[in-house]
Amino acid sequence: MKYLIAILIGILLTIRCYGQDAAQGYDNVQRMTVFEGKCRVQILAGFFPCKPGVLFTEFKNNRWALMFSTSDGVFNIVVSGGSDRQPNLENYYVSADRFYSLKGRDFVFDDQGIEGECHFLMNKKATRYFHIKCDIYNRKTGTHPRLYLENIQSFKRKFETK
C-alpha cells in the first residue's frame, strides 16, 4: 500500500512539476522504482535524515526524477535531469539540472541552475543496489546539496511500459 501511495504522489508531482514535459501525465511515465535504504539529505549545512523510501521516475522523453521526503513527510525534495551514462555495469550516472522542494503541491524553492549527477552503484546484474548518491551544485549561488540513499535493502519496480 505504501508503494502505491508513493507512486500516486510521484505521478501528481510529475504532472505539477514538469508542466509541458509531463503534459501527457501518466502516459509520459516509462518506469517507476521505489528504493529503500538509509536516507540522508544536506541542503545548506549538515545532513538530516529522510524517509527510507526514494522514488525514481523515468519518463519517455528521457527525463528522470528522484524524489526524497523529509522524515516528517512535510517536504518532498526532488532532483531531476535528462542525460545518463553507464561506464560499466556496476555504475550508472544520471545528470542533474534541476533541484526543487515541495510542500504539498506548492514549490518551496526551484533551482534550475543545478549541475552534477546522481550515481547508482549496483552489482553487474542490477539485482542488488548499494547506494544512490546525488552530488549537485549551483555555480552562481555556491550551494552544494547532497541527497544520499545508502545501504539499500530493497527496490521494487512498480510501473513499467514497453
DSSP labels, the chain: -HHHHHHHHHHHHHHHHHGGGGTTGGGGEEEEEEEEEEEEEESSSS-EEE-SEEEEEEETTS-EEEEEEBTTSSEEEEEEEEEEEEEETTEEEEEEEEEEEEETTEEEEEE---EEEEEEEE-TTSS-EEEEEEEEE-TTT----EEEEEEEEEEEEEEE--
Q: How far apart are CA 76 and CA 109, in angstroms?
A: 11
Mean pLDDT of 24-49: 83
Residue 26's pLDDT band, with cuts at 50, 70 and 90, is low
Inform me whether the pLDDT recorded for 119 exceeds 90. Answer: yes
Residue 39's pLDDT band, with cuts at 50, 70 and 90, is very high
pLDDT at position 9 = 52
User: What b-and-e string marks burial along 116-133, b requiring 16 or more CB atoms within 10 Å of the CB?
Assistant: bbbebebeeeeeebebbe
Mean pLDDT computed over every residue of the chain: 84
**Domains and their CATH numbers in the chain:** 2-160 (2.40.128)
Q: What percent of the chain has pLDDT over 90?
A: 56
Q: How far apart are CA 124 and CA 108, in angstroms?
A: 38
pLDDT digits (tens, 9 = 90+) for 49-89: 889 999 999 999 999 999 999 888 888 999 999 999 999 99
